[in-house]
Structure 1
Amino acid sequence: MSKAHHRKKQPETVRQQLLDVVARLSLEKGPASVTLDAVSQAAGVSKGGLLHHFPNKLSLLDGLFDDLTEKFERALAGRMRDDPEPKGRFTRAYAAIWFLPEGMADGEQWKVLTVALISEPHLRERWRQWIERHVAENVGTDSSLDAILVRYAVDGLWLADLLGAPTMDTETRGAMLKRLLTLSRT
């Protein structure tokens, strides 16, 4: 009898391992390198095991989207809970998470997902719906023109970071974040 038959099943661990491999392959070799065969081989999981969790490439990308947006939701909720000022709370949490290098622990995976968002209309629509839902939930506190401007500035920085645009030193980045956070309160 093989070791596989004696190995304790850990479906969530295997699922996360597969998502991590998707992100790593995409970063190292580009999104085109993400095939079911390449992912199963790199993860050390049988193709049947992979198909049990993700039946196709789009479901792998959807899984990565779900995983990252769940983590983002938790980070947002924590930041919002710790901010006593209601006006601009969502915008400040959004800025803090995206703007600071240490704000989002899965930054490399977000780069992968951003590339996928650009190339996959289905994922773009899911992100648009996510943003619209949060904007609607915070319409009373985060709908000022200044709050919108802050979120667009943060999105621009996110894209600049992804594209490897000239980097800012830590001091400049911190000063820019401070100015944006101030703007979110107006």
Structure 2
Amino acid sequence: MSKAHHRKKHPEAVRQQLLDVAAKLSLEKGPASVTLDAVSQAAGVSKGGLLHHFPNKLSLLDGLFADLTEKLDRALAERMREDPEPKGRFTRAYISVFFQPEGLADGEKWKVLTIALISEPHLRERWRQWVERHLSENVGTDSAFDAMIARYAVDGLWLADLLGTPTMDAQTRAVMLERLTALSRL
């Protein structure tokens, strides 16, 4: 007699496992490999179980986006709480999280999301809304032109890091970090 119906269910753990597997498949085999069948099989979850959490591939990508931006929001909020200077606080938190490869947890998943952002208009719109929300929340402290320059420079470096194409040594990177941080205070 099967004891499957007596097994405790952990829907959040299953959901997170599905997101992790989708990210891993995309990194190892490319975004096209992320099919509902492949994810359910690799996760050891029935297709019905996967469909319970994510009815289609876009909802799976949406789930990955939500998971990562929630973690990003927490990292930014933590760094902002640690910064006593209001002017440019969001920009300095943004620099801290995105500029240094070790500053952003789940870096491998961000690679997956970056590819998805490029190819999925729906996710690009969600990212635009995320950025606009944070900028509007911090308009009084981070709307200076120099802060915008710093954030755009960090975006470029973040993309280079995600693509594995950084071209600067540690000393140059440290000088750039210092300069961008100084821009956030102007």
When the two structures are superposed, what TM-score results if normalisation uses the length of structure 1?
0.96
The verdict on how the C-alpha distance between 1:3 and 1:44 changes in structure 2, with shifts beyond 3 A counting, is farther
For residues 125-170 of structure 1, give each alpha carbon's deviation from its aligned partner in whole angstroms, at most 9, with x where no partner exists.
Answer: 0000110111111111111110000000010011111222244333
Supply the distance in 1 between the matched residues of 2:138 and 2:38 (Cα, whole angstroms): 42
Deviation at 1:172, TM superposition (A): 2.4
The answer on whether the counterparts of 1:161 and 1:167 sit within 8 Å (CA) in structure 2 is: no
Aligned to 1:151: 151
**How does 1:51-130 map onto structure 2 within 5 Å?**
51-130=51-130
Deviation at 1:3, TM superposition (A): 4.5
Can you list the C-alpha shifts for 1:3-59, whole angstroms capped at 9, x where unaligned?
A: 532321111110000000011011111111000000000000000110010000000
Alignment deviations for residues 73-125 of structure 1 (CA, whole Å, 9 cap, x no partner): 00010000110000000000011001112111111001100100000000000
CA distance in 2, matches of 1:145, 1:139: 11
CA RMSD of aligned residues (A): 1.1
Distance in 2 of aligned mates of 1:185 and 1:2: 64
Q: Which runs of 5+ in 2 are unaligned?
A: none
Q: Give every structure 1 segment of 4 or more consecutive aligned residues whose post-TM-superposition deviation is greater than 4 Å.
A: none
For structure 1, the 5+ residue unaligned runs are: none
For 1:48, the aligned partner's letter is: G
Q: Distance in 2 between matches of 1:12 and 1:140?
A: 37
- The percentage of counterpart residues that share the same residue type is 82
Aligned residues: 186
Distance 2:31 2:127 in 1: 18
